[in-house]
Structure 1
Amino acid sequence: MTDPQRPIQPPSLIQNLRALFEDTIDLFRKEIELAKAEFSEKLSQAQSGLTMIFCGLLLCAVATFLLAQALVAWLAIYFGPAGAALAIGAAVLLFGIIALWIGAARLKPQNLKPVRTIRATSENATQFKETFNDKIK
């Protein structure tokens, strides 16, 4: 218990600096955890983009084969089964191009940038400066 007649002393500069140091360490730990989580999310996004690019390339390869096969068949027979193969090859090629486009969009650098970590770190640095200046006064 504190003595009711004794006035409460404000924290000393050393106590303030120690508290500031402990808060700063805790803040940096949380920043690192946030960066790890965001990096993991962006890595997953990159893996998804690479998977879509691979699928797109595979579909384009199949489409090229089908289109070439259809063209040969069409030139050999002058219509018939080749028309169907040509239509299927064109559709597969279209899906392949779409998959490539989606995958490439997911791999753009601005989509992989850890925006939340950068914003939080900037805000915390500003708050740290303000707190440090307040405790020094």
Structure 2
Amino acid sequence: MSKAKRHIGIITTGHGPRDEYLHYHGLFLKSLGADVTITLRHIYDGLSLAELDPHEVDKSTPNLGAHVHVPGAKGNHMGDGWEHRFYDLQFATGLVQQAIEKLEEEDGVDMVLLACAAEFPEGALNARTMLIHPREIMFG
């Protein structure tokens, strides 16, 4: 009996591309015998640094960490042009929800994986498909 091909959506909390998620999750799932297609959505794609700046916060405020493109940035493990910054959790949560909806409605995924371990307010995220949030698995 053949297994059905699955379509998995992965949401990252910054700018793209983040091909390491494609490679890691794709290879991991295929090694388990899964036949998968992976689609990535990055919550800050389409937003410039100037548009994100008003939402930047420090770690004392509820936040979501993100790798974003910053012209001239040096030394980040992601390579030149990347920085890790923190953005207001309420602002970011709305963009995560939009990414979930795009993955479901536009991309037709069977499940959504959040590529972060941030704590979201209870009930803040909704999905019609299976939604996997690593924090809930790790701390549940």
TM-score (ref. length: structure 1): 0.22
Between Structure 1 and Structure 2, the one with more strand by share is: 2
Between Structure 1 and Structure 2, the one with more helix by share is: 1
Give the number of the structure with larger relative contact order, counting CA–CA contacts within 8 Å between residues 6 or more apart.
Answer: 1
